[in-house]
Amino acid sequence: MKALVYQGPWTMTLEDVPVPEVGPGQVRIAVKKVGICGSDVHGFIGKTGRRIPPMIMGHEFGGVINAVGAGVTRFGVGDEVIASPIQFCGHCANCRRGLTNICVNRHVLGVDLPGAYAEQIAVDESMVYAKPAGLAWELAALAEPLAVALHAVNLTPFDLMETVAIVGAGTIGLLTLMAAKLKGAGTVVITDKSRHRLEMARKLGADRAISVDEEDPVAVVKEMTGGLGADAVIEAVGFAATVQQALALTRTGGAVTWIGNSAQLIELNMQEVVTRELAVHGSYAFNTGEFARSIQAIADGRIDVAPLIERSAPLAEGPQIIHDLAAGELELVKVMLEVTA
């Protein structure tokens, strides 16, 4: 079968690789569509250090089951499904508490397990969800990033009609914007450098979209809030400058949630966190219930993810597209790769 293989920094090739075998408790999925994630672009550059070549990336996908292993009971050949990329053990202390996203034995498709930039992929049955009838494959593939946004918003304490600021208008930031609106935020502000992404944010319901190259976001938010700052801030980039911006945007006694996962080490003002009693919370992926709710939110039209998809292309064009995204030569919110007919 064909697959995109990450060979090292700035190198990804289309290769013939063996069809994955189906083990006990697993299903094999013929991938229909898979989204290019910003984390894959960062991994392609080699900055994150989480993807060790050779590696098949890709973790936002859905497809049709074409084989099942011994012991599989919930699915059969021909079923249309969406898969979560998180393989959890189910028996560690965190799994027993329902915190499957931080399973101490977890593995992740496209990070340390073969991913979905491939014609077929084998996954544990526990990772698979039925695709609602009639849901388009490209929308189904966005269930994973939306679940990331839902998890972050669920973790972030804010009351109805309060002000929420989001740092970063990439896919996750934009989905977080819509999720915060759905949860009841009164005013949602988003910041970014990209005019294109900020315009997308306005179309998706941002009350204020701030270009950090043209305005001081801290001054703007304080003016909007009577000098206080946002009640809650969600950081969706993951670099020192954006983390520092998130802290500065937050009112004293407010909450900051970090989704961004790019830089391993950053500098921040610890005294500011302590003396202003800021609550800082990390947000990683999602739990199983949030993934199911993400699928339902898309299928029911509660969150419209379609505007984020700005290009579809065959799998073979993936390496060039990922290169161009990494090099800043292409500015698209979400690209879908079409894998099997």
Q: How many distinct structural domains can be found in the chain?
A: 2
Residue 136 resides in a domain: yes
Residue 292's pLDDT is what?
A: 97
Provide the residue range defining the domain that includes 188.
Answer: 148-282
Residue 299 resides in a domain: no
- CA 74 remoteness from chain centre: 26
Residue 98's pLDDT is what?
A: 93
Residue 162 and residue 87 in one domain: no
Q: What pLDDT, in 10s, does the model give residues 292-337?
A: 999 999 999 999 999 999 999 999 999 999 999 999 999 999 999 9
Residue 157 and residue 244 in one domain: yes
Strands 107-108 vs 86-87: parallel, antiparallel or unpaired: antiparallel
User: Of 181, 182, 169, 255, whose CA–CA distance to 209 is shortest?
Assistant: 169
Global pTM reads: 0.96
Residue 92's pLDDT is what?
A: 97
CATH classification at residue 225: 3.40.50.720
Residue 263's pLDDT is what?
A: 79
Residue 155 and residue 264 in one domain: yes
Residue 92 and residue 190 in one domain: no
User: Which residue positions in the chain have pLDDT lower than 70?
Assistant: none
Residue 209 resides in a domain: yes
Residue 11's pLDDT is what?
A: 97
**Burial category of 313 from C-beta neighbours within 10 Å (exposed 0-12, middle 13-18, buried 19 and up):** middle
Residue 123 and residue 15 in one domain: yes
Give the whole-angstrom CA distance, residue 221 versus residue 121: 45
Residue 83 and residue 24 in one domain: yes
Residue 172 and residue 274 in one domain: yes
Residue 130 and residue 159 in one domain: no
